[in-house]
Amino acid sequence: MDKIIFSGVQPSGTPSLGNYLGAFKQFPKFEEAHKVYLCVVDEHAITVRQKPEDLHHNTLAIAAWYLASGINPNVSTIFIQSHVPAHTQLGWMLSTLTYMGELERMTQYKDKSQKKAENLNAGLFTYPALMAADILLYDTHAVPVGEDQKQHLELARNLAIRFNNAFGDTFVVPEFMAPPAGARVRDLQNPEKKMSKSEPGPGTILLTDTPQEAAKKIKRAQTDNEARIVYDPENQAGISNLLEILAACTNRTPQQAVMEFEGQQYGALKAAVAESVVFALEDIQAKYKSYMDDKAELTRILREGSEKANTHAEKTLNRVKDKLGFVIPFSA
């Protein structure tokens, strides 16, 4: 049987270079040998207040970025989470197996709750149970995501195991899968924190930035006074981040990328990073635009995607209901 890959991106803003290198760029390589499901997780996005018109636009835009990254919709399934009701249904069931303490330990919740103290809603807290449902509904073997999602994935694995132990074998236990480079792209101005689409600024490259804007942000990236190009994220976070970005854009490891800069100045590294980022952006931006200009085609792809996703998800949900003892709706 084909192995199944599942991943999701929130339509909570314009995606960043971190989203691209940590997630989008990885997906097409799985298409040849695996069944790939890619979800635009709009139900997750509303755990932080969104303007309705922005959410609407960003939802279609994330689908277009999946396609622009090279996903073939005739092979893989791209769909919108709210088009498949099984996600929230299984999310509810899994929330009844999730301990408060597990949710309290989630760093994404802790971060967001500190920043958004005015809208500290229950959805933000139970978010990881919904994310587990997203993954487990598709009998997923592996979840390619950035490093920041590892803790959520660990919970999804624990919930799958907990359910299987309590009710009998039901779920595939999914594996976390990080990219070889770019698993944690850092903010260019503050390399202590990750580059984030929800806090755009001079340290964040957005996928819609012009080549000039992106190059300028890289040129101004924070470095240090060491004046040596080494890959050492602990002690030279800024330089290591630039090496990480270069490596991810050029399909190498940071250790391979560093070799070409022996004895060189920081300016040379920044120029190489800018060139590789601009090259990547130009390629995907052209494709993104063509999908956004053809909404009829985009909605056709999403409609077909939701049909395929619903078929798989419904089967899993019925299996779960049966295991739990729910009475399956009577057919006529």
| Binding footprint of ligand TYM on the chain (CB under 6 A) | 6-10, 18-19, 21-23, 41, 44, 131, 134-135, 143, 145-146, 148-149, 152, 182-185, 194-195
User: Could you give the C-alpha distances from 74 to 20, 144, 300, 301, 302, in angstroms and in order?
Assistant: 22, 20, 11, 9, 11
Could you confirm whether 194 is annotated as catalytic?
yes
Residues 6+ apart with CB under 8 A from 290: none
Q: Of 131 and 317, which has the nearer Cβ to ligand TYM?
A: 131
Q: Of 41 and 172, which has the nearer Cβ to ligand TYM?
A: 41
The catalytic position among 35, 197, 217, 270 is 197
Shortest Cβ 225–ligand TYM spacing (Å): 25
Shortest Cβ 327–ligand TYM spacing (Å): 29
Shortest Cβ 15–ligand TYM spacing (Å): 7
Could you confirm whether 150 is annotated as catalytic?
no
The catalytic position among 25, 35, 194, 217 is 194
Q: Of 24 and 291, which has the nearer Cβ to ligand TYM?
A: 24
Shortest Cβ 197–ligand TYM spacing (Å): 7
* CB 261 within 8 Å of CB 268: yes
Shortest Cβ 326–ligand TYM spacing (Å): 24
Q: Of 251 and 265, which has the nearer Cβ to ligand TYM?
A: 251
Q: Of 88 and 265, which has the nearer Cβ to ligand TYM?
A: 88
Residues forming a β-bridge with 35: 4
- Ramachandran area for residue 224 (φ above 0: left; ψ -120 to 50: alpha; else beta): beta
Q: Which token pair is 37?
A: 């499901």
Shortest Cβ 36–ligand TYM spacing (Å): 12
Q: Of 110 and 300, which has the nearer Cβ to ligand TYM?
A: 110
Distance, in Å, from the CA atom of 64 to the CA atom of 23, rounded to the nearest integer, reads 14
Cβ atoms < 10 Å from Cβ of 115: 11
Beta strand extents in 76-211 (DSSP E only):
77-80, 142-144, 175-177
Residue 163's closest CA among 96, 112, 219, 111? 96
3-state secondary structure of 51: coil
Q: Which residue is nearest to ligand TYM (CB)?
A: 22
The catalytic position among 112, 219, 270, 287 is 112
Could you confirm whether 25 is annotated as catalytic?
no
Distance, in Å, from the CA atom of 48 to the CA atom of 111, rounded to the nearest integer, reads 12
Which stretch of DSSP H or E encloses residue 164?
helix 150-167
Distance, in Å, from the CA atom of 227 to the CA atom of 267, rounded to the nearest integer, reads 10
**Active site positions, annotated:** 112, 194, 197
